[in-house]
Amino acid sequence: MNHLKSDVVLPQPYLLFLGDTTEPGYAKTAFGLRDWAGGRCVGEYAIDGATVVTGLARMTPEQAAASGAKAIVIGVANSGGFIPATWWPALVRAMEAGLDVVSGMHARLRDIDVLREAAARLGRRLIDVREPPSAIPIATGKPRTGKRLLTLGTDCALGKKYTALALTHAFVARGIDATFRATGQTGILIAGGGIPMDAVVADFAAGAAEMLSPDAAEHHWDVIEGQGSLFHPAYAGVSLALLHGSQPDVIVACHEAGRERVLGHPAYALPSIEETIDLALRLGARTNPRIRCGGVGLNTSRLEETAALRLLASESDRLGLPVADPMRGGASFERLVDACLS
């Protein structure tokens, strides 16, 4: 699918920039690259005030350049996707050290005078990956060949991308033809292509989801990265367009153990897993009446292993579905894979 591949060859390896971030949920780009493209990351760089760390080596831009880094990647996906002025000196310093700047934010690097002028002066590139392709069609709702799985969640930043990537790898390991379809900036940086769904004009969003996952061979699986939540007070529209346009045969609901309030919107309680599945199946049936739930991806990263395994088992019994933490793997994850493919 060449029309989904980036026209820009991203300069690698990366220095991950954490800004002054204090909320781990907003550093999902850095964590995603660390976990799924670790061989392309040399270290991390933050400014005063940051409390989030990835566990990679702390480096200045100069040290990163000396270690072979070619670009600094903004590893933050904050609410609104803005690039605050407090970050600009650090990004200029990175360019002065010889690094290009890669961003997946809504704000465009080239629209910030300080960064644009520094890039021109230093001969550095400013690369924005949150650019949707041209000529996105209006959705048709017509059925497409091939098979599709969509991850969706109770909230943002809790494991939809990780679950989709883990399932794709598991399918391929079983000899199944499968493709991860990225729908956000981090997934695009990992996969090398995709469509940033939240950057698409609303009327064309479902069409973009159709474009992302076109007709395929009968037994091919597109595993599609979910976005937002159907219950989210700000981002539900993106989630619904992706659900209607991707026409999934299977959904996997994703949740983080212990999270009770919507990230960035604490006045709102999270929906239950059951509510999430029920609403997704009712809305998804509009474009695929055969839609079903394969199971649940449960992020248990805040729990130690014994407690996590106990929770996975109890939730599976309670829901009557396979429940697994894709990052822990094991027998529960294999049951989830089986259910998705059955």
Return d(Cα 256, Cα 302) in angstroms, integer: 9
**Per-residue model confidence (pLDDT) at position 77:** 85
Residue 235 in any domain: the answer is yes
Handedness of CA 185, 191, 195, 197 (dihedral sign): negative
CB 197 within 8 Å of CB 208: yes
Quick one: DSSP state of residue 287? T
Residues 66, 176 within the same domain: no
Q: Count of domains in the chain?
A: 2
**CATH number of 302's domain:** 3.40.50.300
Residues 57, 196 within the same domain: no
Return d(Cα 99, Cα 104) in angstroms, integer: 16
Residue 134 in any domain: the answer is no
- Which has the closest alpha carbon to 19: 45, 39, 56? 45
Residues 104, 197 within the same domain: no
**CATH number of 103's domain:** 3.40.50.720
Residues 227, 337 within the same domain: yes
Residue 103 in any domain: the answer is yes
Element (DSSP H or E) covering residue 222: strand 221-224
Residue 167 in any domain: the answer is yes
Return d(Cα 340, Cα 337) in angstroms, integer: 5
CB 202 within 8 Å of CB 241: yes
CB 97 within 8 Å of CB 62: yes
**Per-residue model confidence (pLDDT) at position 146:** 98
Residue 142 in any domain: the answer is no
CB 115 within 8 Å of CB 126: yes
Residues 123, 157 within the same domain: no
Q: What is the pLDDT along the chain (342 residues), one digit of tens a residue?
A: 334 554 567 899 999 999 999 998 889 899 999 999 999 999 999 999 999 999 999 999 999 999 999 999 999 988 788 999 999 999 999 999 999 999 999 999 999 999 999 999 999 999 999 999 989 999 999 999 999 999 999 999 899 999 999 999 999 999 999 999 999 999 999 998 899 999 999 999 999 999 999 999 999 999 999 999 999 999 999 999 999 999 999 999 999 999 999 998 999 999 999 999 999 999 999 999 999 999 999 999 999 999 999 999 999 999 999 999 999 999 999 999 999 999
Q: Point out the domain boundary residue: 70, 93, 128.
A: 128
- Which has the closest alpha carbon to 339: 315, 316, 322? 322
Residue 202 in any domain: the answer is yes
Containing domain of residue 306, as a range? 147-341
Return d(Cα 274, Cα 38) in angstroms, integer: 34
Give the residue ranges of DSSP H helices in the chain.
Answer: 28-36, 61-66, 88-96, 113-122, 160-173, 185-191, 205-212, 236-246, 273-284, 305-319, 330-341
Q: Point out the domain boundary residue: 69, 93, 128.
A: 128
Here the contacts of 83-86 (C-beta below 8 Å, separation 24 or greater) are 83/107, 83/109, 83/112, 84/19, 86/19, 86/20, 86/47
**Per-residue model confidence (pLDDT) at position 75:** 96
Q: Point out the domain boundary residue: 128, 160, 194.
A: 128
Return d(Cα 294, Cα 137) in angstroms, integer: 30
Return d(Cα 76, Cα 49) in angstroms, integer: 14
Residues 119, 175 within the same domain: no
Residue 140 in any domain: the answer is no
Residues 159, 296 within the same domain: yes
Residues 119, 158 within the same domain: no
CB 119 within 8 Å of CB 95: yes
Residues 117, 45 within the same domain: yes
Residues 218, 96 within the same domain: no
Residues 229, 257 within the same domain: yes
- Which has the closest alpha carbon to 149: 224, 87, 82? 224
CB 279 within 8 Å of CB 231: yes
Residues 174, 320 within the same domain: yes
